[in-house]
Amino acid sequence: MQPTTDSRPSLLLAMGPGIAERLFTGAHRDRLAALTRTDPHLVAHDLAAPGPRVADALAEAEILFTCWGATPLTAEVLARAPRLTSVVHAAGSVKHHVTDACWERGITVASAAAANALPVAEYTLAAILFAGKRVLRSARQYAELRTEQPWADESAAWGNYRRTVGIVGASRIGRRVLDLLRPFDLEVLLYDPYLTAPPPGVELVGLDELCARSSIVSVHAPRLPTTYRMIGAAQLAAMPDGATLVNTSRGSLVDEDALLPHLVSGRLHAVLDVTDPELPAPDSPLYTLPNVLLTPHVAGSLGNELHRMADHALEEVARYGRGEPFLEEIRAADLTRSA
């Protein structure tokens, strides 16, 4: 009998220590083994100085399946991967590891950014609705006072009926937030300098106007040189008294030095999943201010949400094996205005 030819593509997992154990279930590893020629338990943590097993697998790999902590794919690394044609990233941004050398060589890149966008959008939706109902303030007052209060007297400005929400950035996450807001009776404003026509039911406005009109401003722009401190002193001063700033994007997009006085005075509220620096100083008032909800960058995929990214990336691997184009292909030009 003639030996059968295995036409499945060769694949190597490449990501930081401990990531694969959180990303994959046993079913994911089984599917990976069915779709490709790979050792689903071999994970390359360092492609710049690989050991013999990883070096051999890298030399054969047509696909690199990456996630957080992947080695930057420099020209030197790519020289060890002569058969490599594609990178499938089971997370969001590829800027950390996909270099100019990848684009110059014509390597195709796919990302699970769309899968990672959903939990961030869900977190944002919850933050917006809770902000409109003043949940943080009322919960803290209730815990402190522990008595009956005339909540109806205090709540004249509470509620989400026809409240104005401003979305900064029609990114993947920003668009998902817009989708999730549709069932609610909200007035939605959008700022995005690259957009010429807004989605149905959304008003496209300038950034300063958005901040001045919105009870809740939610930031979803990418971290770029042009977006550094885009929510600055002028935008914060324009926000109405009692407005809430939600930031699930990157801390560097908000001028925290300008924001803090508004928070300390109680004029503004904030829901901050990201800060600049990423970990605030131990004495930062952000930890203790009653009008601030500070979370440790948990809006993105965590726990079982990582499995959604694995599912998404495995679908891209399946498409590659069938000779189909990636569903979520990333191109070099995309990175000039995306995360």
Catalytic residues: 250, 278, 297
Residue 97 in tokens: 């590891």
15, 41, 58, 75 from 53: Cα distances, Å: 16, 12, 9, 20
The Cα–Cα gap between 232 and 234 comes to 6
The Cα–Cα gap between 314 and 36 comes to 10
Residue 192: which of 201, 202, 205 has the closest Cα?
A: 205
Residue 285 in tokens: 């008032």
Sheet holding 216-219, edge to edge: 202-204, 186-191, 163-168, 216-219, 244-247, 269-272, 292-294
